[in-house]
Amino acid sequence: MSIQAAVSSVAAITAEELAALIAERDALAGALRVATTERDLALERLRALQRQLFAAKSEARSTDQKDLFLNEAEALAPTDQTAPAQAEPEESTPVTGHQRKKPGRKPLDPALPREIVRHELPESERICAHDGHALVEIGADVSEQLDVIPEQVRVLQHHRIKYACPCCDQSLKVTPAPSRIIPRGLLSEQAQAWVITGKYQFGMPLYRTAALLRRFGGDLASNTLAAGGVRIGQAVQPVINLLRDHLLDSDLIYGDETTVQVLKEPGRKAQTKSYMWAQMNGDGRPVRLFAYAPGRGAVHAEKLYAGIRTGATLITDGYEVYNGIAKTGKLTHLGCWVHARRPFIKAEEAIPKAARSPDQLASRFVRLIGKLYRAESAAKDWTPTRRLRLRSRYSARIVSEIEQLLLTHLHAVAPSSLLGEALHYLHGQWPKLIRFLENGNWPLDSNPVENAIRPFVVGRRSWLFADTVGGANASANLYSLIETAKANGIDPYHYLVALFKRLPLAQTVDDYEALLPWNIGLESK
Radius of gyration of the chain (CA): 34
Could you please report the per-residue DSSP string of 70-131?
TT-TTTS---TTTSPPPPPPPPEEEETTEEEE----PPPPTTS----------GGG-B-TTT
pTM: 0.79
pLDDT over 80 at 34, yes or no: no
Residue 257 covered by a domain? no
Residue 421 covered by a domain? yes
Residue 258 covered by a domain? no
Residue 433 covered by a domain? yes
Mean pLDDT for the stretch of residues 166-184: 87
What is the SS3 assignment for 318?
coil
Lowest-pLDDT choice from 8-22, 301-315, 425-439: 8-22
- C-alpha 243/C-alpha 255 separation (Å) is 15
Q: What domain count does the chain have?
A: 1
Specify the higher pLDDT residue, 258 or 20: 258
Torsion of Cα atoms, 370 then 372 then 377 then 378, to 10°? 120
pLDDT over 90 percentage in the chain = 55
HEC sequence for 471-508: HHHHHHHHHHHHHHHHHCCCCHHHHHHHHHHHHHHCCC
C-beta of residue 450 within 8 angstroms of C-beta of residue 320: no
Residue 392 covered by a domain? yes
Q: Which of 284, 282, 275 has the alpha carbon at shortest distance from 256?
A: 275
Mean pLDDT for the stretch of residues 380-397: 94
- C-alpha 165/C-alpha 176 separation (Å) is 18
DSSP letter for 362, please: H
Lowest-pLDDT choice from 54-63, 87-96, 260-269, 482-491: 87-96
Lowest-pLDDT choice from 80-84, 387-391, 445-449, 506-510: 80-84
Residue 372 covered by a domain? yes
pLDDT over 50 at 68, yes or no: no
Specify the higher pLDDT residue, 455 or 1: 455
Specify the higher pLDDT residue, 358 or 488: 488
Specify the higher pLDDT residue, 430 or 111: 430
Instruction: Please report which confidence band the pLDDT of residue 72 belongs to, taking 50, 70 and 90 as the band edges.
Output: very low
Residue 469's CB: how many other CB atoms inside 10 A? 16
**pLDDT on residue 359:** 84
For residue 407, what are the domain limits?
A: 336-445
pLDDT over 70 at 217, yes or no: yes
Instruction: Please report which confidence band the pLDDT of residue 54 belongs to, taking 50, 70 and 90 as the band edges.
Output: low
Instruction: Please report which confidence band the pLDDT of residue 87 belongs to, taking 50, 70 and 90 as the band edges.
Output: very low
Mean pLDDT for the stretch of residues 92-113: 68
Residue 23 covered by a domain? no
Residue 83 covered by a domain? no
**pLDDT on residue 353:** 78
β-partners of residue 281 are 253
C-beta of residue 500 within 8 angstroms of C-beta of residue 189: yes
pLDDT over 60 at 81, yes or no: no
